[in-house]
Structure 1
Amino acid sequence: MAHYIDPTKTGFQAFKELARDEPIEMLNLLLFREKAEYPEGHEHAGKGWSGRRAYEEYGKTSGPIFRRVGGSIVWRGTFQAMVTGPESREWHDGFVARYPNSAAFFEMIKDPEYQLAVANRTAALVDSRLIRFKPGTAGEGFG
């Protein structure tokens, strides 16, 4: 089974080709490493952190940048069971991040402090999904 931590070239190109001037919501699915894997020489290498602890560090260090560009978390949850999908796949956590537009997302990922913070995300995860959605209208039905 393939594992994904960073965007693929094709996926990122598709993201860049979508409208940039409307709100976006990003579904994040996370599978943590048992033990974080930092590169040798990184300030957190050798601390024995779990993947979850490394992801908490990513949240702490990237959070101010995320908020500065107008990002917010609109939903967060902890995985319980795969109802529809491959039974062999499970996730630890998931959340939906909202951005005012894709320009805000680009501003965040280009920020030098964010680029340092993302090392914690990479060390933390064994697999992930990042899926862009155009927000729709909430309501009482499925359609």
Structure 2
Amino acid sequence: MAETTFIDPTPAGFQAFKDLPRDEPIHMLNLLRYRELAEYPAGHEHHGKGWTGRRAYEEYGKTSGPIFRRVGGSIVWRGTFQAMVTGPESERWDDGFVAQYPNSAAFFAMIKDPDYQLAVVNRSAALVDSRLVRFMPGEGGEGF
């Protein structure tokens, strides 16, 4: 049986996101698994360059970063996968990060931006699987 992978939001998942409050800060957990070789559509300027998925994701960061920052986004945590302690052994990630937005309106502004829509091609080319999970920020500290 083929493994199910996720690159873009499902209609139900995106609707659940839209149904949540829009006027509070949000954290978006991003888990990334890169393709060995990026898969750009034929005719794209990066098609055939032999880029790794990681390199294509770096291009996504470079091209989407100005838009992300303009809407008030920032990275509050970043890490490189080491081991699956609890969860399916088959589920491994290359990188993870938490992006913070002032509210979901900022996230919507980013994804609707025409320059972002051009940049996101790099993300799609880069990833073989991903997760994007919305959280309401809470207080940090010493306890669970």
**TM-score (normalised: structure 2):** 0.98
Q: CA deviation at 1:39?
A: 0.3
Q: CA deviation at 1:66?
A: 0.1
Q: CA deviation at 1:9?
A: 0.2
Q: Quick one: which of 31, 45, 48 aligns to 2:47?
A: 45
Tell me how large the CA RMSD over aligned residues is: 0.3
Q: CA deviation at 1:44?
A: 0.3
Q: What one-letter code is carried by the residue in structure 2 that aligns with 1:124?
A: A
- Which residue is equivalent to 1:106? 108
- Which residue is equivalent to 1:95? 97
Q: CA deviation at 1:94?
A: 0.1
- Which residue is equivalent to 1:67? 69
Show CA shifts across 1:28-85 (max 9, x none).
0000000000000000000000000000000000000000000000000000000000
SS of 1:131's partner is strand
Q: Quick one: which of 78, 81, 85 aligns to 1:79?
A: 81
Distance (Å, rounded) in 2 between the aligned partners of 1:45 and 1:95? 27
Residue 122 (str. 1) matches residue 124 (str. 2): yes
Residue 15 (str. 1) matches residue 17 (str. 2): yes
Q: CA deviation at 1:26?
A: 0.1
Q: CA deviation at 1:141?
A: 0.5
Q: What one-letter code is carried by the residue in structure 2 that aligns with 1:81?
A: A
Distance (Å, rounded) in 2 between the aligned partners of 1:18 and 1:84? 28
Distance (Å, rounded) in 1 between the aligned partners of 2:115 and 2:89? 38
Q: CA deviation at 1:132?
A: 0.1
Unpaired runs of 5+ in structure 2? none
Unpaired runs of 5+ in structure 1? none
Matched length: 142
**TM-score (normalised: structure 1):** 0.99
Q: What one-letter code is carried by the residue in structure 2 that aligns with 1:16?
A: K
